[in-house]
């Protein structure tokens, strides 16, 4: 077997059995190995940002890494933005990046570039396989890195001659670093603060936002009277009827500062000390109020669920301490389309156990509370702020969870970055409803223009924010890539389109014309 | 004036008056300055690969740099692939990349990344402005770097606080390094080889492929009997009736080796020692035959035209020495679509003084000779091999040369990477005909699969090469972004579509269904 085949076999043996790929000449031996080896599902994307974003979504839902297959430096470069988002989401990914045969590199052929330098900003682990007999071992090390605690992005660069020359066989994955437990002292400290009463925020991130984590937090809050919030953006959050609904720290800086003002203590449960998304003139970067103390209870590589259980025990919180939350009434909206009616339609449409990928940006800023009483679902957000994350993440989520409906909510501006996702959704018959909010403007920038003190945009500035000349026709774009779609202009039409798309299998697109 | 305004004014004063932009929050002060300052044309792209590719095309046709405006690390990352192509094309570009306000960087907000590390692989010059009073001077230094000889990619990172705080004013560009002349010894050497007769190849690249350079080469070839070829890929080449037609070194390795076999001397005129695009098992990376000597006459930072004039004088070559070339007969083709009939239709359709951007890959491999007798035009190719270069480069070329028709020929696989280009073409009413060759496969990879010794692709491998499930509907994709299009299935239809699109103004798309 050659190096490429030894790598494919090693990946499959280590449980990495899904490959999101956009290959080129230097990766043809990896592609050829797919014909000889059973067990690797290879999914083609027509742009690398689709590929890396899909791997992010896959990890978020499956909890184990997929691999990507990318063509040399520029192929990796096209995937960097969504690797940035994946890194911030804590997703483990094994990137396989082709490279010229080693003696060819010094020739400076057109596609030659410094691949390791391109990989470094987003990868925690990088290696270029020196020869075919090292490839399997290097692949196993990449998987171990991707599966370590916290999970990481590992980039294995595979020279063409290492792929096509003879290899020794398959390698075993060993030594993925394990998640440490937690710090009993940190939990003692948290319990002490909670018992001291008044003005304490339990700020949840990561695994604290699983169904179990939220239930524990609900008990602790009911018992101690502390407030509970989630970070502004979360990689995955269990939500819906019967689950503890927590608000997130708002994105707009003034609202965020107001939301945190009451607190004299913030306990971080796999969350970060809250910071503003951007800096603004004469406003703080750190969101906590003056004098507020921030205490870390668990970090990203610790066992947050076990820690919350210990904390609940320490404060004497039981499940029945959880305060009942006011259920919101669900009904299909009618009348004009606006953020409120859109949110109610989505809340009605979310099917049991759905995955909601949220890149609704300005349109969706108020979607969170109205969807709290939808059927139970997971809610995935953009962790790195690089737009164009959602349509690829929806691909990965749908492949990781073929029995769950995926609803991808995306602004028109964001959807344009990785619109090639629609084609992969069609090819793989993925059960994804893409809802495009077509307001024909980078609306968030319109708000930020003011926010950063730039005043009112004039004509030339507005030209850089508006997408209305020409308008994008999302139904045509969907059709062009094999995804049936329809445009809606009223809440009634939107409700009907959602209900129909939910009842059907396979990819659908709804253009919400605002 | 604030830092952003001082930068915009400095750019305009230095002749950088076109900005290809995809801005975000951190760039709003730059955008706001556009309202206050006359003279900067700002063109919005809905994906950063469009923006950087457009800047490449602009430089190739205008000869002076445009600037880009990109949003933080991920925005730059999305533009890297086409910066790679631009760097290999020798295009000068000034990238303005927003950054968080400096005190905000340590907060590790979602969009934080190591921007300088991302910029380094493709930028010859990088600087982060430390404060608002440095911005104008740093901008002037970036322009000087972009305009130096050879031209460079310069990346200026602009922190938000440096953009919004008070600046001192405008800065002057000084000290762009000047193109040195040439080496008289190298020309003497070339003349000696040419006079010694037999087996000499004059290999042209860069400015040697301008109309004047080609005319000089034609005279030298006619006088000395040397052969003349161009490199496989060329940033810009003057072609068409009345201009000296030179073949390029073929892309397929076996053809390339055969083409160079006869030569015992190769004289490099702004060209590189020829290498294979990829490495292949048991084939050489360097294309020159054994024993062939390679002599550099001029490099990329030298005055190739002056050098060719001296060389012509040294060998006694005059314009009338140029051998007449057999003109090919031009006629609209009829019958089925195939590479030959497509090439003849294109040759007929190219209008006087058109710009042809060629990313036709496998379909267009034979387009070169049949278009030699088209009306005079410039022919632009992909220098870095990262596909998705052509539709953005067509934007930049059309903006640089508003009076010239641009014909962009692109394979369907390539066109998908940066299809957002169509929207910018529609918004700016650019006079671009995009011809998409829709063969529904990465056909080049089908060939390379064999070439690298991977044998015949089986079903799973073919899934990674084929684009046929679902088929892409390019007319719908064009419609979705405001570009009228039509699909053609015969040579007659293609001819008519080309003739019509050539006669009209504004963007058009033709899907050639093969």
CB contact under 8 A, B464 and A122: no
CB contact under 8 A, A464 and B34: yes
Choose, out of B24, B278, B473, the residue to mutate when testing the contact with A (most A CBs < 10 Å). B278
Location of structure tokens 């690829």: A392
State the average pLDDT over residues A177-184.
Answer: 80
Q: Is residue A223 scored above 80 in pLDDT?
A: yes
Contact (Cβ atoms closer than 8 angstroms) between residue A86 and residue A93: yes
Q: Give pLDDT tens digits for B233-281.
A: 999 999 999 999 999 999 999 999 999 999 999 999 999 999 999 999 9
Q: Please report the pLDDT score of residue B204 as a whole number.
A: 98
H-state helical runs in B428-458: 443-451
Distance CA B110, CA A361 (A): 15
Residue A476's nearest CA partner among B472, B436, B391 is: B472
Residue A57's nearest CA partner among A382, A434, A361, A405 is: A382
Q: Is residue B198 scored above 90 in pLDDT?
A: no
Q: Please report the pLDDT score of residue B224 as a whole number.
A: 97
Higher pLDDT, A335 or B325: A335
Higher pLDDT, A189 or B450: A189
Superfamily of segment(s) B3-164: Thiamin diphosphate (ThDP)-binding fold, Pyr/PP domains (3.40.50.970)
Q: Please report the pLDDT score of residue A177 as a whole number.
A: 64
Tokens of B424: 């910018």
**Residue B327's pLDDT band (cuts 50, 70, 90):** confident
Give the chain B residue nearest A381 (alpha carbons): B110
**Residue A179's pLDDT band (cuts 50, 70, 90):** low
Residue B22's nearest CA partner among B57, B58, B70 is: B70
Location of structure tokens 């930028």: B123
Q: How far is A153 from chain B (nearest CA, A)?
A: 15
Residue A226's nearest CA partner among A256, A196, A250, A189 is: A196
Q: How far is B71 from chain A (nearest CA, A)?
A: 9
Distance CA B304, CA A178 (A): 61
CB contact under 8 A, B35 and A161: no
Q: Please report the pLDDT score of residue A205 as a whole number.
A: 98
CB contact under 8 A, A464 and B384: no
Give the chain A residue nearest B441 (alpha carbons): A46
Walk across the sheet containing B41-44 and list its strands.
B41-44, B18-22, B67-70, B93-99, B153-159, B125-128
CB contact under 8 A, B31 and A452: no
CB contact under 8 A, B80 and A81: no
Could you tell me the residue ranges of all domains in chain B?
A: 3-164, 184-321, 339-513
Residue A409's nearest CA partner among A361, A466, A360, A479 is: A360
Contact (Cβ atoms closer than 8 angstroms) between residue A362 and residue A338: no
pLDDT, mean over chain B: 96
Contacts of A32 in chain B (CB under 8 A): 449, 454-455, 457, 461
Q: How far is A68 from chain B (nearest CA, A)?
A: 13
Tokens of A143: 């998987």
Tokens of A207: 């695994």
CB contact under 8 A, A49 and B382: no
pLDDT, mean over chain A: 96
Distance CA B153, CA B55 (A): 10
List Cα–Cα distances, A453 to A319, A448, B25, B32, B167, in angstroms.
48, 8, 11, 10, 16
Q: How far is B368 from chain A (nearest CA, A)?
A: 20
Q: Give pLDDT tens digits for A454-474.
A: 989 999 999 999 999 999 999
CATH fold group of domain B184-321:
Rossmann fold (3.40.50)
Q: Is residue A387 scored above 90 in pLDDT?
A: yes
B367-B369-B373-B378 Cα dihedral, nearest 10 degrees: 60
Q: How far is A195 from chain B (nearest CA, A)?
A: 30
Walk across the sheet containing A41-44 and list its strands.
A41-44, A18-22, A67-70, A93-99, A153-159, A125-128
List Cα–Cα distances, B213 to B237, B239, B246, in angstroms.
10, 12, 12
CA angle B98, B100, B102 (to 5 degrees): 120
Contacts of A123 in chain B (CB under 8 A): none
Residue A384: which of B74, B88, B482 has the nearest Cβ?
A: B74
Location of structure tokens 């156990």: A353
Contact (Cβ atoms closer than 8 angstroms) between residue B345 and residue B333: yes
Contact (Cβ atoms closer than 8 angstroms) between residue A303 and residue A211: no
ipTM, two decimals, is 0.97
CB contact under 8 A, B34 and A384: no
Q: CATH classification of A339-513, choosing from 3.40.50.970, 1.10.3720.10, 1.10.240.10, 3.40.50.720?
A: 3.40.50.970
Residue B480: which of A25, A457, A477 has the nearest Cβ?
A: A477
Residue A232's nearest CA partner among A196, A195, A260 is: A260
Helix (H, G, I), strand (E, B) or coil at B31: helix
Distance CA B100, CA B22 (A): 16
Q: How far is A313 from chain B (nearest CA, A)?
A: 34
Helix (H, G, I), strand (E, B) or coil at A511: strand
Q: Give pLDDT tens digits for B416-438.
A: 999 999 999 999 999 999 999 99
Q: Please report the pLDDT score of residue B72 as a whole number.
A: 98
Residue A285: which of B104, B420, B476 has the nearest Cβ?
A: B104
State the average pLDDT over residues B98-124.
Answer: 97
Q: Give pLDDT tens digits for B22-46.
A: 999 999 999 999 999 999 999 999 9
**Residue A197's pLDDT band (cuts 50, 70, 90):** confident
In terms of DSSP bridges, do strands A377-381 and A237-239 run parallel, antiparallel, or are they unpaired? Answer: antiparallel
Per DSSP, which regions of B305-431 are E strands?
354-359, 377-381, 406-411
Give the chain B residue nearest A479 (alpha carbons): B476
- What kind and span of H or E run contains B67? strand B67-70
**Residue A176's pLDDT band (cuts 50, 70, 90):** low
Walk across the sheet containing A293-298 and list its strands.
A247-248, A227-230, A200-204, A265-269, A293-298
Task: Spell out the residues 6+ positions from residue A185 whose beta carbon is closer than 8 angstroms to its own.
Answer: none
Distance CA B274, CA A266 (A): 63
Give the chain B residue nearest A276 (alpha carbons): B109
Q: How far is B195 from chain A (nearest CA, A)?
A: 30
Contacts of B471 in chain A (CB under 8 A): 482
DSSP state of A336: B
- Percent of chain B residues past pLDDT 90, beyond the cut: 95
Residue A474: which of B26, B467, B480 has the nearest Cβ?
A: B480
CA angle A189, A195, A196 (to 5 degrees): 90
Which residues are registered as beta bridge partners of A126? A155
Q: How far is A162 from chain B (nearest CA, A)?
A: 11
Distance CA A216, CA A221 (A): 9
Q: Please report the pLDDT score of residue B450 as a whole number.
A: 87
Instruction: Give the length of chain A.
Output: 514
Q: Do domains A184-321 and A339-513 have the same CATH topology?
A: yes
Residue B28: which of A21, A413, A448 has the nearest Cβ?
A: A448
Cis peptide before A86 (omega within 30 of 0): no
**Number of Cβ pairs closer than 8 Å across A and B?**
307
CB contact under 8 A, B481 and A460: no
Contacts of A413 in chain B (CB under 8 A): 46
Residue A281: which of B122, B164, B426 has the nearest Cβ?
A: B164
What are the DSSP calls for B200-234, one per residue? EEEEE-GGGGSHHHHHHHHHHHHHH--EEEE-SS-
Contacts of A455 in chain B (CB under 8 A): 32
Q: Please report the pLDDT score of residue B180 as a whole number.
A: 72
Give the chain B residue nearest A480 (alpha carbons): B473
CB contact under 8 A, A279 and B160: yes
- What kind and span of H or E run contains B161? helix B160-164
CB contact under 8 A, B476 and A477: yes
Task: Spell out the residues 6+ positions from residue A196 whose beta carbon is closer than 8 angstroms to its own.
Answer: none
Query: How many angstroms from the chain centroid is the CA of residue A90?
Result: 9
CB contact under 8 A, A109 and B277: yes
Residue A110: which of B161, B385, B471 has the nearest Cβ?
A: B385
Q: Give pLDDT tens digits for A99-128.
A: 999 999 999 999 999 999 999 999 999 999
Phi, psi of B2 (to 5 degrees): -90, 175
Helix (H, G, I), strand (E, B) or coil at B24: coil
For A331, other C-beta atoms within 10 Å of its C-beta total 10
Tokens of B335: 């019958």
Q: Is residue B178 scored above 70 in pLDDT?
A: no
Q: Please report the pLDDT score of residue B50 as a whole number.
A: 98
Q: Is residue A178 scored above 80 in pLDDT?
A: no
**Residue B173's pLDDT band (cuts 50, 70, 90):** confident
């Amino acid at each position: 077997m050659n190096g490429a085949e030894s790598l494919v076999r090693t990946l499959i043996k280590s449980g990495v059995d899904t490959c999101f790929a956009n290959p080129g000449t230097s990766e043809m031996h990896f592609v050829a190995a797919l014909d000889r080896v059973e067990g690797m599902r290879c999914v083609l994307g027509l742009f690398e940002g689709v590929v890396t974003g899909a791997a992010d979504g896959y990890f978020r839902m499956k909890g184990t890494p997929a691999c990507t297959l990318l063509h040399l430096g520029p192929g990796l470069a096209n995937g960097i933005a969504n690797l940035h988002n994946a890194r911030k989401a804590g997703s483990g990914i094994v990137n396989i990046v082709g490279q010229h045969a080693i003696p060819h590199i010094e020739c400076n052929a057109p596609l030659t570039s410094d691949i390791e330098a391109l990989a470094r900003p987003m990868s925690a682990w990088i290696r270029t396989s020196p020869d075919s007999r090292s490839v399997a071992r290097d692949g196993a090390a990449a998987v171990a890195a991707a599966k370590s605690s916290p999970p990481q992005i590992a980039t294995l660069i595979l020279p063409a001659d290492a792929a096509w020359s003879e290899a020794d066989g398959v390698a075993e994955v060993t030594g993925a670093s394990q998640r440490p437990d937690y710090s009993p002292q940190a939990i003692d400290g948290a319990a002490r603060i909670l018992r001291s009463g008044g003005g304490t925020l339990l700020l949840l991130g990561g695994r604290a936002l699983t169904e179990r984590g939220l239930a524990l937090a609900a008990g602790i809050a009911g018992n101690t009277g502390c407030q509970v919030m989630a970070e502004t953006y979360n990689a995955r959050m269990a939500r819906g009827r019967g689950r503890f609904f927590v608000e997130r720290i708002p994105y707009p800086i003034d609202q965020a500062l107001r939301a945190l003002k009451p607190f004299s203590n913030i306990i971080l449960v796999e969350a970060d000390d809250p910071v503003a998304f951007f800096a603004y003139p004469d406003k703080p970067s750190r969101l906590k109020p003056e004098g507020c103390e921030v205490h870390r209870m668990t970090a990203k590589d610790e066992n947050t669920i076990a820690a919350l259980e210990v904390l609940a025990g320490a404060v004497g919180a039981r499940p029945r301490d959880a305060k009942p939350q006011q259920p919101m009434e669900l009904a299909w909206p009618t009348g004009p389309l606006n953020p409120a009616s859109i949110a109610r339609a989505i809340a009605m449409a979310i099917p049991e156990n759905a995955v909601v990928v949220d890149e609704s940006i300005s349109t969706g800023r108020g979607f969170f509370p109205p969807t709290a009483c939808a059927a139970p679902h997971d809610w995935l957000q953009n962790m790195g702020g690089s737009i164009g994350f959602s349509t690829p993440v929806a691909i990965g989520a749908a492949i990781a969870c073929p029995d769950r409906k995926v609803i991808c909510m995306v602004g028109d501006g964001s959807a344009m970055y990785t619109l090639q996702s629609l084609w992969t959704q069609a090819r793989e018959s993925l059960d994804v409803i893409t809802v495009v909010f077509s307001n024909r403007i980078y609306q968030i920038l319109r708000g930020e223009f003011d926010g950063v003190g730039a005043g009112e945009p004039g004509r030339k500035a507005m030209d850089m924010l508006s997408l209305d000349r020409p308008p994008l026709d999302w139904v045509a774009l969907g059709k062009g890539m094999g995804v049936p779609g329809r445009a809606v202009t009223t809440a009634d039409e939107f409700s009907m389109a959602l209900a129909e798309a939910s009842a059907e299998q396979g990819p659908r697109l709804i253009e919400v014309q605002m």
